[in-house]
Amino acid sequence: MTDRMLRKPHLRSPTDETLLTKLVLIGIGGSFLAFFLFLPLIVVFVEAFRNGIGRYWDALVEPDAAAAIRLTLTVAAIAVPLNLVFGVAAAWAIAKFEFRGKAFLITLIDLPFSISPVISGLVYVLLFGSQSLLGPILKRYGIEILFAVPGIVLATVFVTFPFVARELIPLMQDQGTGDEEAALSLGASGWQTFRFVTLPNIKWGLLYGVLLCNARAMGEFGAVSVVSGHIRGLTNTMPLHVEILYNEYNMAAAFAVASLLAALALVTLALKTLLEIRFDAGNAGGRRH
Amino acid sequence: MDVSVSHVTKEFARFPALNDVSLDIHSGELIALLGPSGSGKTTLLRLIAGLDQPTDGQILFGGEDASHKSVQERNIGFVFQHYALFRHMTVAENIGFGLKVRPAAARPPKTEIRRRVGELLEMIQLSGLEKRYPNQLSGGQRQRVALARAMAIEPRVLLLDEPFGALDAKVRKELRKWLRDFHDRTGHTTVFVTHDQEEALELADRVVVMSQGRIEQVGSADDVYDRPSSPFVHRFIGEASEVAVRMEDGEVWIDDRTVGLKADGNGPARLFFRPHDLELLTGCGGCFEGVVVGSRRLAGARRLEVELGGGRHRVEIDVPVDHPAAMKSGLNFRPRHWRVFPVAG
Amino acid sequence: MTSATAFKRWRVKEPSIIPGFGLTLGFSLAYLSLIILIPLAGLVWRASSLSGAELLAILTDARTLAALKVSFGTALIAAAVNAVFGVLICWVLVRYDFPGRRLIDAMVDLPFALPTAVAGISLSALYAPQGWIGAWFAPFGIRIAYTPIGITIALIFIGLPFVVRTVQPVMEEIDRDVEEAAATLGANRFQTVFKVLLPGLAPAILTGFALAFARGVGEYGSVVFIAGNIPYVSEIAPLLIVIRLEEFNYAGATAIATIMLAISFAMLLVINLIQAWSRARYGHD
């Protein structure tokens, strides 16, 4: 018995590679990621704490930084709920009904993903700027959109527009309309059907979309940069504040603020992973952004 | 090519999928591995192919141990249940694949490959579809392409895993007949796995009945149907009525009476017979005496549920549609053919 | 039946007992128009008010052309690098089990989650001549930051998850059957991977490549810090738009934006065509 076991060569499964091949591939992939993904992340924290925790803290509580943090939170607090409501409404219309032009509508919703953030900002400059048709009217009534908070919110809404809808549409399409029809046949109102039947089914996908939407809203740079006007303490979001500090060669402070954003990214990734484990990665929508 | 499976055991994570299985497959034979799911039939097929390695035991091709040979070296043709066609390749590319990937020294020239593909297409009656992609074919056509692809490498043995499993009933029947003709024409040693007894009995020269990782019986369709060697085979193939009996004094006893069946042996046993294979009697001197407690219509007969021994046993028998038996009426019968298996312990 | 199908022909919406169609679609369309369509239309309208000669002059301006060339060139190289390494990483993540796999899988999304400005300053700190990595290359006279190489590195960072997340689900669905079939036909592992598996993944890889490329062309935040922004050398098209805006040269900004937008739409079309073609031929994307 033992004799035969010893003689038996260990033949590899035909759908498997040799251990060496595996190690080499894992090594290459791992190095690539370490080099391009992990290292930049580590640098942020190392540079942020280079001059000690005291200086780190100073950089965050300094009035302009605090104002930038406040503005970033404000902008996200407006942009995310808006896109959440839109995402749910659009997904309801698209997933629960058959109508003409649906595919085209989905393409339009995805549009902001394929537009350069700079252009996303530019369109608002062209719409509301002093040279535009609306510019003089806005000026007469003293309404400030560009180089003010409303402009920043608009640009942020633009770039984060598809996130929630994108997660919900495939999820709700997969779930079909059977549950809703059953609820309605049992006498539930439209709102009750949504609240008690649809919402529980999509809550994780919804959360997932909100998470990604929020991360982008807080981190958006290009579009916001174009419309903000870079007024310190007033129209600087955190990413813009990072840029200003960096351009002033105030590296430690720049990386301190950046480390907050990086921490936000890490929390987002952790929650996202938890959600995927929680409700099977496959259901987490398209997973493509 | 003879294939011999010798004392093969296969464990998956300590769970025995095959337990000391031995089987001789003769050259040119068409053999069916038949069993319920989990019986180990597909595992056995994959071991023969070299897609998996046995935990213990040997597989011999023409007397030569194949344990050291990879699946590529075994030169077998394997047809998968879900075809496993390469969907980015045309029908012709699929069929020619096995020739194209040969090492340069053994690879036939392009024109030769094209000729062979043409021949095979003709054989599977799909000439003219060589430019199609698998996605553009019906299920039956795909299965035939899969077969042609496996045949292209001139395999020593053809192995088919549930070849008709994914097809609808009509196509299944057609393809079954077609495979039989195909085998008769080419004479390849062929092993196919199925859970469909009708398919196995109709198609195979010999049927290997498997259950729980073991071979229960190997034999022709007549063997396994008429002379099942175990209660499992009797229940699994065809329909079976069974009743707990006792063997004593060369007779079969139900409770305290004989039923007119001879048997050698002593002790508790189970009696098996086919519901349709019995004679109805009027008088009863040593026969089955029962009361009808249920009746339902089958296609060509009426199936009665009959209580024996005052309700201690219940069996099913078939009677002609116009048989007058009514509920609660008495009924006498005796099986024409039967098997008795002693109950262990 | 005939009348029903005849009706269907000019009905906008299939009948349904589920309520809320008008409300949700109405709101969606209004919101979409306000946020996306009207502003975009404004851009197009502004562009159309430029005369053909003006437009041509802006677009054939040497600096514009150089910027477009830098943007497209670096995005193309970065997307190609990502196509190769992204597929390799997918393979490792899908096929192998090793300690840290879950962590790596989660980290692939980092570029989606990390604000581009953070990535930008971090990469330039790494690759600047006195930076962590840049210092290794500086003695050999190789400059990474402030050259197109630096831009490419930033775009590799940004684009990687597009390839991985596009290819991964398709790779997960590969039937083991197909690989086993190739092996029974005599193909060795190398042939199985390169003749059977990868060609089957080609549509997904192409889509991921196109997505990474499209994103790279428009990328701004992660690039401006590492690029050095030297006109004609390492100045990207989105930055040139910003510069034109700061010069109050709205016509210039609009023209460059329009050409980039047109190319974005073309890319979107290409991606959709790849998917449609793949669905039609192979029955999956």
Q: Please spell the DSSP secondary structure of B64-108, one letter per residue.
A: EE-TT--HHHH-EEEE-TT----TTS-HHHHHHHHHHTS-TTTPP
* CA distances (Å), origin A230, targets B47, B331, C27: 70, 101, 33
With a pLDDT cut of 90, the percent of chain C lying above it is: 65
Angle between helices A199-219 and A63-96 (to 10 degrees): 140
C20 in a structural domain: no
Q: How confident is the model at residue A282 (pLDDT cuts 50, 70, 90)?
A: very low
Contact B50 A11 (CB under 8 A): yes
Q: How confident is the model at residue C10 (pLDDT cuts 50, 70, 90)?
A: low
The runs of H, that is alpha helices, within chain A are 2-7, 19-33, 39-48, 52-61, 63-96, 102-110, 117-128, 134-140, 149-160, 163-175, 178-185, 190-193, 199-219, 222-228, 238-247, 251-278
Does C38 score more than 60 pLDDT? yes
Q: How confident is the model at residue A57 (pLDDT cuts 50, 70, 90)?
A: very high
Residue numbers in C near A220 (CB within 8 A): 115
Residue numbers in C near A270 (CB within 8 A): 106
Residue B223: exposed, middle, or buried by beta-carbon count in 10 A (0-12, 13-18, 19+)? middle
Does C256 score more than 50 pLDDT? yes
Does C285 score more than 60 pLDDT? no
Does B197 score more than 70 pLDDT? yes
Q: How confident is the model at residue A5 (pLDDT cuts 50, 70, 90)?
A: very low
**Between C24 and A285, where is the model more confident?**
C24
Q: What would the mean pLDDT of A166-191 be, rounded to a whole number?
A: 92
Find the angle CA(C231)-CA(C75)-CA(C52) to the nearest 5 degrees: 60
ipTM of the complex: 0.89
Nearest to C257 among A100, A122, A266 (CB): A122
Q: How confident is the model at residue A11 (pLDDT cuts 50, 70, 90)?
A: low
Contact A283, A206 (CB under 8 A): no
C22 in a structural domain: no
Residue numbers in C near B93 (CB within 8 A): none
Q: What is the pLDDT of residue A66?
A: 94
Nearest to A22 among C96, C160, C166 (CB): C96
The answer to whether B72 faces chain A, any CB pair under 8 Å, is yes
Q: What would the mean pLDDT of B272-295 be, rounded to a whole number?
A: 88
C54 in a structural domain: yes
Q: How confident is the model at residue B14 (pLDDT cuts 50, 70, 90)?
A: confident
Strand duo B206-211 + B30-34: pairing: parallel
Q: How confident is the model at residue A76 (pLDDT cuts 50, 70, 90)?
A: very high
Q: How confident is the model at residue C281 (pLDDT cuts 50, 70, 90)?
A: confident
Q: What would the mean pLDDT of C94-110 be, rounded to a whole number?
A: 92
Contact A14 B50 (CB under 8 A): yes
**Between C7 and A216, where is the model more confident?**
A216
C80 in a structural domain: yes
Does C208 score more than 70 pLDDT? yes
Where in the sequence is the domain holding C247, given as residue range(s)?
48-282
The Cα–Cα gap between B15 and A275 comes to 34
Q: What is the pLDDT of residue B322?
A: 86
Q: What is the pLDDT of residue A289?
A: 39
Q: What is the pLDDT of residue B12?
A: 86
Q: How confident is the model at residue A287 (pLDDT cuts 50, 70, 90)?
A: very low
End-to-end CA distance of chain A: 57
Q: What would the mean pLDDT of A232-250 be, rounded to a whole number?
A: 91
Q: How confident is the model at residue C26 (pLDDT cuts 50, 70, 90)?
A: very high
Strands across the sheet containing B15-25: B15-25, B3-12, B56-61, B64-65
Mutate to test the interface with A, among B46, B55, B67, B101 (most CBs of A within 10 A): B67
C11 in a structural domain: no
Q: Write out pLDDT tens, residues A79-130.
A: 999 999 999 999 999 999 999 899 899 989 988 988 999 999 999 999 998 8
User: What single letter denotes the amino acid at residue B20?
Assistant: D
C58 in a structural domain: yes
Total domains present in chain C: 1
Q: What would the mean pLDDT of A21-50 be, rounded to a whole number?
A: 94
Lowest pLDDT segment from A282-286, B45-49, B285-289, B309-313:
A282-286
Q: What would the mean pLDDT of A31-57 be, rounded to a whole number?
A: 93
> Between residues 3 and 32 of chain A, which touch chain B (CB distance below 8 Å)?
4-5, 8-14
The answer to whether A89 faces chain C, any CB pair under 8 Å, is yes
C23 in a structural domain: no
User: What single letter denotes the amino acid at residue B268?
Assistant: P
What CATH number corresponds to the domain at position C276? 1.10.3720.10
φ/ψ of A229, rounded to 5, equals 85, -5
Nearest to B101 among C187, C199, C281 (CB): C187
The answer to whether C209 faces chain A, any CB pair under 8 Å, is no
Q: How confident is the model at residue C195 (pLDDT cuts 50, 70, 90)?
A: very high
Q: What is the pLDDT of residue A135?
A: 83
Pick the closest to residue C164 from C103, C84, C275, C95 (CA basis).
C84
Contact A16, C72 (CB under 8 A): no
The answer to whether A100 faces chain B, any CB pair under 8 Å, is no
Q: Write out pLDDT tens, residues B103-122.
A: 999 999 999 999 999 999 99
Q: What would the mean pLDDT of C158-167 be, rounded to a whole number?
A: 96
Q: What would the mean pLDDT of C38-42 be, rounded to a whole number?
A: 92
- What number of helices (H) and strands (E) belong to chain B? 9, 20
Q: How confident is the model at residue C117 (pLDDT cuts 50, 70, 90)?
A: very high
The answer to whether A47 faces chain C, any CB pair under 8 Å, is yes
Q: What would the mean pLDDT of B127-150 be, rounded to a whole number?
A: 93
Does A7 score more than 60 pLDDT? no
Pick the closest to residue A133 from C46, C89, B226, C91 (CA basis).
C46
Q: How confident is the model at residue B330 (pLDDT cuts 50, 70, 90)?
A: confident
The answer to whether A128 faces chain C, any CB pair under 8 Å, is no
Q: How confident is the model at residue C119 (pLDDT cuts 50, 70, 90)?
A: very high
Does A285 score more than 60 pLDDT? no
> Between residues 47 and 76 of chain C, which touch chain A (CB distance below 8 Å)?
none
C188 in a structural domain: yes
Q: Write out pLDDT tens, residues B162-184.
A: 998 878 888 888 888 888 988 99
